[in-house]
Chains A and B, each alone.
Chain A
Amino acid sequence: MLRVMDSVAANTDSVGDYMRDVDRTLLLENLKLTFEQRARKHLRALQMVEELRRAGKKLRQKSDGR
């Protein structure tokens, strides 16, 4: 039981630590958007992540082929 409580306390502490590092300006910008705009903005970010992944993969394949 004590071990579980310690674990919860440790998690709570780290969440508290992380909260200090959250960029509130990004969140405040998102809160100005509608639900649909937030979803579409996320999709654009996701597509960019996937594009970067593809580019990284190509680059690795090229350097492996050398």
Chain B
Amino acid sequence: MAVDLAQVIPPLVRANVDFILIGGMAAILHGSARVTFDVDVVYSRTHDNVERLTIALAPHRPYLRNAPSGLPFAWDTKTIRNGLNFTLTTDLGDIDLLGEVASGETYQTLLPHSFEVEAFGIRFKCIDLPTLIRIKEAAGRRKDQEAIAELRVLLEEIERQQC
């Protein structure tokens, strides 16, 4: 199922969920030409926000991605509070909810490195390009090397255009 940012983001914004778009979709918004198959967001772990997140996604039947079918999984605040990072499949497509990223950073520490995007008639937060590169580098995954190279070239081009 092709994940559509225009379908995934609005329910979160309407429910006032505190989140920052990161990962491949953030790279797309920055101008990446690569294809990504899921939406990654860092969410605030405050009690109220976890509750809002639970309510926002509940109608879209979140379930653990690649989990054996029939595995008991309750989508509720307790589950989210007891976990941290969730790779989910939903009616809207695949969504990764991250309480923390590889560099050990959280919603609160990444917030100063985010900016507001206006699209699909709504506004939401997206990670800035230098921080996106830093997060991918911190993950240290070999499969990210090409993506990091592309993001660095993007940063060069954006800085060149700003000169």
User: A residues near B, CB below 8 A?
Assistant: 7, 11, 14-19, 21-24, 26-28, 30-31, 33-36, 38-40, 42-43, 45-47, 49-50
| Chain A interface mostly | helix
**Interface flags, B145-159, vs A, CB<8A=1, else 0:** 110111011100110
Are the C-beta atoms of B37 and A46 separated by less than 8 Å? yes
User: B residues near A, CB below 8 A?
Assistant: 1-6, 25, 28-29, 31-33, 35-37, 117-120, 137, 140, 142, 145-146, 148-150, 152-154, 157-158, 161
Q: How far is the CA of A15 from the CA of B142 in the complex (A)?
A: 10
List of B residues within 8 angstroms of A45 by Cβ:
35
| Chain B interface mostly | helix
A42 with B35, Cβ < 8 A, contacts A35-B29, A36-B120 known: yes
Are the C-beta atoms of A31 and B120 separated by less than 8 Å? no
Please name 18 further chain A to chain B contacts, defined as beta carbons within 8 Å, in addition to the given A34-B119, A50-B1, sorted by A numbering.
A11-B145, A18-B146, A18-B148, A22-B149, A24-B153, A27-B31, A27-B32, A27-B33, A31-B157, A35-B29, A35-B119, A36-B6, A36-B120, A39-B5, A39-B6, A39-B120, A47-B2, A49-B35
Most buried by A among B2, B119, B148: B2
CB of B90 to closest CB in A, whole Å: 16
In-complex Cβ contact of A27 among B4, B37, B145, B153 (8 A): B153
